[in-house]
Structure 1
């Protein structure tokens, strides 16, 4: 296959943990031809989707892990698969990129994950479609509603709807002195909705990332365990990653979410689960491949490419 990756600058990746590199290495091992494009090099000309695309070769060598050829204008639809792996922030540039990629889809390309679903499925809000899998959750910009929620549940996590890596997450107690200022800051003085969730004590045992490939869970998850008194387990916030086999409850959660992922063309997804509760559904550029592979000898990116090689599911 011809495989195009849309990603952040390849020279800036964290080579020890980058999941996109795992995908690219798997593609190369399996004989696929790779192209590389930055978000700003996507464009539409006379209604057709193009990119200034560089041929890419990758090597499983920490001293020399890639080479790039010269950028050339190419049709995005000339690629069989396009991996949209641009990290958040989910800003208007990201949205514009999905519109260009959506045009490529109309021309026949298979974008992973589906462009419309990248726009539709905010990683915090998407999880609220499964209230039976969540702790009590409120999304609002109104301080009166947020304060009432905190009073009711006593111990609450609040966070922005567009954060990643644990940024902007606060734990608030009903009698805490900084409730007002925290809510004002996160909601931009009541102009922007935020999420409040009842605190889940099981976070001390880890915030589990369950990876889903075409609706099927990878048999192992990565529990991200908070360190040094932190509330957040995110690896970017210093959490310790411990790979574990899925529990029966993990599989039950995955099975409930799976049909919706397949319906929306979300082929590679990360469910965030604390205890027995889903907190987020990550669709933009889920990670944790490398940590699970290292601890359990899996090759999750190969599993992904086995699905891609089998062809586009009828539900997409």
Structure 2
């Protein structure tokens, strides 16, 4: 298969932990060819298909210069997305207006015959923080609002809360306010921008001490191990980007129940790969843009997550013909 990865700049990859790199390496092992571009390389013009300035890449095996590209100039090779066997959308958040515009271009490419994973419309329809609203039976006490009074009332009721912006990633912009309510007003102003921005507020879950579990589901099938990201020192966030320590572990019965309920539903909607975030017994987030943790789980358990993903991608390609 000819694969196109739409991702962040290749030069920014930390390949020792990068999930997109793990996908690429496994793809090469299975005999597929690789191309890559960034969202800014996509283009549509009337009368023509959606194209991208792509780089055809090979993996070098050198950790410092991990890929070599045939193209040196950025505008050397415009390529129609429909000419690839699969387009894998792996752009990291922020899920901003530019991200949304990219999904519209990818959706047009789909109308022209491109096979895009995850499905562009499904990416738009499942913003990572808000996707949990559909499964309240799995979440802890949660509030979504712009209103400062709503947040203060929620704090008075639950006493120990987490506040977060809807478009953050890697733990950015997450605050904890305990019973004393210290700085609550200031934190609300920072996050809701005077009522202009919507905020998610959740009851603090003490089980975060055992880790924020990332559970991966590939084409509706649950990966049998999760990565518990455990906060370090006096940090309240378990995110690896915020210094959390990743410990792979088998799924609990509750983890499995959540994943087996949600996974097949979202697979039907075109989400080939999702990452569920679970603290204790509570679902806190559904990651659809570029779920990570492949390398950590594989290194610690021997279960080859990238192989499972590529197998699913190959099967999806066969189904689409």
TM-score (norm 1): 0.97
- Residues of 2 paired with 1:9 and 1:193: CA distance? 30
Q: 5+ residue gaps in structure 2?
A: none
Q: Hey, what's the Cα distance between the residues in 2 that align with 1:184 and 1:313?
A: 51
Q: Deviations over 1:263-313 (max 9, x none)?
A: 220111100000011000000011101111111112211111111112359
Q: How does 1:286-301 map to 2 (within 5 A)?
A: 286-301=291-306
Alpha carbons 1:25, 1:60 under 8 Å: kept: no
Whether 1:100 aligns to 2:67 is no
Which among 150, 162, 165 is matched to residue 157 of structure 1? 162
How far, CA to CA, are the matches of 2:281 and 2:60 in structure 1? 39
Is the Cα contact below 8 Å between 2:213 and 2:279 reproduced in 1?
yes
Superposed displacement of residue 45, structure 1: 1.8
**Alignment map for 1:181-196 (pairs within 5 Å):** 181-196=186-201
Write the deviation string for residues 128-172 of structure 1: whole angstroms up to 9, x where unpaired: 211000001000000111110110011111100000000111111
SS of equivalent to 1:89: coil
Question: Does the CA contact (< 8 Å) of 1:6 and 1:86 recur in 2?
Answer: yes
Distance in 2 between residues matched to 1:111 and 1:212, nearest whole Å: 18
Matched ranges for 1:1-12 at <5 A: 1-12=1-12
Offset at residue 16 of structure 1 (A): 1.2
What's the Cα RMSD here?
A: 1.4
Distance in 1 (alpha carbons) for counterparts of 2:56 and 2:120: 23
TM-superposed CA distance for 1:199, in Å, is: 0.8
**How far apart in 2 are the matches of 1:152 and 1:164?**
27
Q: CA deviation at 1:60?
A: 3.6
- Aligned residue for 2:109, secondary structure, equals helix
**Preserved contact between residue 162 and residue 201 of structure 2 (Cα < 8 Å):** yes
1:229 maps to 234
Taking the aligned partners of 2:318 and 2:63, their CA distance within structure 1 comes to 35
Counterpart for residue 273 of structure 2: 268
> 8 Å contact 2:6–2:88 — kept in the other structure?
yes
- Tell me which moved more, 54-63 or 65-74: 54-63
- Give SS of 1:150's match: helix
Structure 2 CA distance for aligned equivalents of residues 147 and 160 of structure 1 = 16
Find the counterpart in structure 2 of residue 249 from structure 1. 254
Distance 2:32 2:297 in 1: 24
The aligned counterpart of 2:13 is 13
Unmatched tracts of structure 1, length 5 or more: none
Q: How many residues align?
A: 315
Measure how far apart 1:227 and its partner are: 0.4
Q: 1:50 aligns to what?
A: 51
Among candidates 133, 139, 146, match of residue 144 of structure 2: 139
Please name the residue that 1:148 is paired with: 153
Return the offset for 1:314.
Answer: 6.8
Partner of 2:185: 180
Moved over 4 A (4+): 312-315
Residues 313, 133 of structure 1: alpha-carbon distance in 2 compared, 3 angstrom cutoff: farther
* 1:161/1:195 contact within 8 Å kept: yes
Shift of 1:250: 1.0
Match of 1:39 in 2: 39
Secondary structure (helix, strand or coil) at the match of 2:101 reads helix
CA distance in 2 between counterparts of 1:38 and 1:152 reads 45
Distance 2:85 2:144 in 1: 39
After the TM superposition, which residues 61-100 of structure 1 pair with which residues of structure 2 at under 5 Å, given as runs?
61-70=62-71, 71-100=76-105
Larger mean CA deviation between 209-218 and 173-182 belongs to 173-182
- SS of 1:158's partner is strand
